[in-house]
Chains A and B, each alone.
Chain A
Amino acid sequence: MERKKILLVDDSDTVLMMEKMVLKASHYDLLVAKEGQEAMDMALSELPDLILLDVVMPIMDGFEVCRKLRAQETTRSIPIIMVTTRGEDRHIACAFEAGCNDYITKPISGLELVSKVSDHLSR
């Protein structure tokens, strides 16, 4: 069976490392982008099965990346899980308005991450 491809987007090496370690055990192909434009380029060229997208990033934040991906025909239906330090309702609402499918708050729980990723990939 073909391995699912996940694009991890975060400007923090610490978070990327942690996400990679947690998801590695589930045998996904993991791609990494450290800022918004790089994430856009990789999403368009690689067409991942799912994107794990940090909200707070310099230059182009996660909301903007999400909106732009939703505006593109080829990336419109890729599931996007936003990863945010802000767990307040209004931030979550902004994430959904931008077009994400789900969200995870930091500090990341490995169990939550694995189960949400698996859930969205199996839909």
Chain B
Amino acid sequence: MKKDEEGPEGYVQKVHRETQRYIQALLSENARLRSLVERLEGERVSLTEEKIQLQDEVQTLREELDLHEQEQALLEQQLTNSEGESLTFAERYVELEEQNTNLANLYAVSYRMHGTLDRQKVLKAIEEIVINMVGSEELAIFELNAEGSSLRQVSSHGLEPGSFETIDVGSGLIGRVALSGEAYLDGHSDRSGQLPEEAHLTACVPLKIEGRISGVIAVFRLLPQKAGILNPFDYELLDLLATQAATSLYFTALHEKSAP
């Protein structure tokens, strides 16, 4: 500023003008900032309202979620119950099918034993039953001689020819069954006194009529799928077979004697 050219008054006026401009600029800036504050305040209010609205929505969703979770828990419980019931039904079904099979087997045994008066057919039926229902392809059927002193083989399947032609009553496991009338069941009966050829004997059941022993059925090695084990139903089946076979063989003998 050239003080000398304009003089003190000019200088003062110039300062005054500059000051006025500066104040004007400040006022403008102030107004702009006020406007900005107002706009932001408006936006804040709007955002607060929006936030409240969103919080309400979140709360509603939480409630719905809780409700769904409760429903899910209920459905899971029902599913667990249904699975439990389904398992029970499945077990029951298996049990019934097994019973059905067992009854079918018992019926077939009974029917086959009494369906003929032909002795050879009865012996063949006994073999079939042991092979197909008990699960052994090695068996022999013995009958007691008139004196009751020895057993004579009347039929066999899967055994070496000539083996077990006769057995003295009381000798070995098979002879012991003929003497005592008590069945021999591998794993349940005493093996002491067994003969070498009885090493593979699995079961031996007496043929009895009215308590009188007429012979025995001896079952040796089981089929591979039986894994060497007779189950409780096999015992039941063998017991029924022995009883029915004894009666049937007795009737065939009577029939042969009475035949002209």
| Residue ranges of A at the interface with B (Cβ–Cβ < 8 Å) | 12-15, 17-18, 21-22, 25, 85-88, 105-111, 114
B135 on the A face (CB < 8 A): yes
Q: B22 within 8 Å of A by Cβ?
A: no
Instruction: Give the residues in chain B near A110, CB-CB below 8 Å.
Output: 97-98, 100-101, 104
* Distance in angstroms between the alpha carbons of A18 and B111 in the assembled complex: 11
When the two chains form their complex, are residues B223 and A85 in contact, meaning their CB atoms are under 8 A apart?
A: yes
Stretch at the interface among B23-31, B52-60, B125-133, B245-253: B125-133
Say whether A87 contacts B223, CB under 8 Å: yes
B residues in contact (CB < 8 Å) with A: 94, 97-98, 100-101, 103-105, 107-109, 111-112, 125, 128-129, 131-135, 137, 223-226
Residue among B98, B105, B112, B134 having the largest count of chain A Cβ atoms under 10 Å? B105
By a CB distance below 8 angstroms, the chain B residues around A25 are 100
Interface centre among B98, B108, B125, B226 (most CB of A within 10 A): B108
User: Which of A12, A22, A85, A105 has a CB less than 8 Å from the CB of B101?
Assistant: A22
Decide: B225 and A105 in contact? CB cutoff 8 A. yes
**Most-contacted residue by chain A among B97, B112, B125 (CB, 10 A):** B97
Q: Considering the chains assembled together, what is the distance between the CA atoms of A112 and B101 in angstroms?
A: 10
**Please, how many angstroms separate the alpha-carbon atoms of A13 and B118 in the complex?**
15
Q: Given A21-B108, A105-B223, decide whether A15 and B132 contact each other with a Cβ distance below 8 A.
A: yes
Complex partner residue of A111 from B98, B128, B135, CB under 8 angstroms:
B98
Q: Which residues of A lie under 8 Å from residue B100 when comparing CB positions?
A: 22, 25, 110
User: Chain B binding site: helix, strand, loop or mixed by DSSP?
Assistant: helix
Contact A18 B98 (CB under 8 A): no
Q: Which residue of B lies closest to A22 (CB)?
A: B104
Flag if A14 contacts B129 (CB, 8 Å). Answer: yes
Expressed in whole angstroms, the minimum distance between the Cβ of B77 and any Cβ of chain A is 31
Question: Which B residues lie within 8 Å of A13 (CB)?
Answer: 112, 125, 128
- Given A17-B112, A107-B133, A110-B104, are A87 and B97 also a contact pair (CB < 8 Å)? no
The answer for the CA separation of A12 and B121 in the assembled complex, in Å, is 12
Q: How far is the CB of B124 from chain A (nearest CB, A)?
A: 9
Contact A18 B223 (CB under 8 A): no
User: Which A residues lie within 8 Å of B97 (CB)?
Assistant: 110-111, 114
Chain A residue at smallest Cβ distance from B103? A21
Closest to B107 in A: A21
Q: A106-B133, A108-B132, A110-B104 are in contact. List 12 more A-B contacts (CB 8 A).
A: A12-B128, A12-B132, A14-B129, A14-B132, A22-B101, A85-B132, A85-B135, A85-B137, A107-B105, A107-B226, A111-B97, A114-B97
The docked-state distance in angstroms from the alpha carbon of A73 to that of B35 is 95
Minimum CB–CB distance from B64 to chain A (whole Å) comes to 43
- Assembly CA distance A9 to B173 (angstroms): 38
CA distance A12 to B105 in the complex (A): 13
Task: Find chain A residues with CB under 8 A from B224 CB.
Answer: 86-88
Chain A hits for B104, CB < 8 A: 17-18, 21-22, 110
Residues of B within 8 A of A18 (CB): 101, 104-105, 108, 132-133
Q: Are B101 and A14 in contact (CB under 8 A)?
A: no
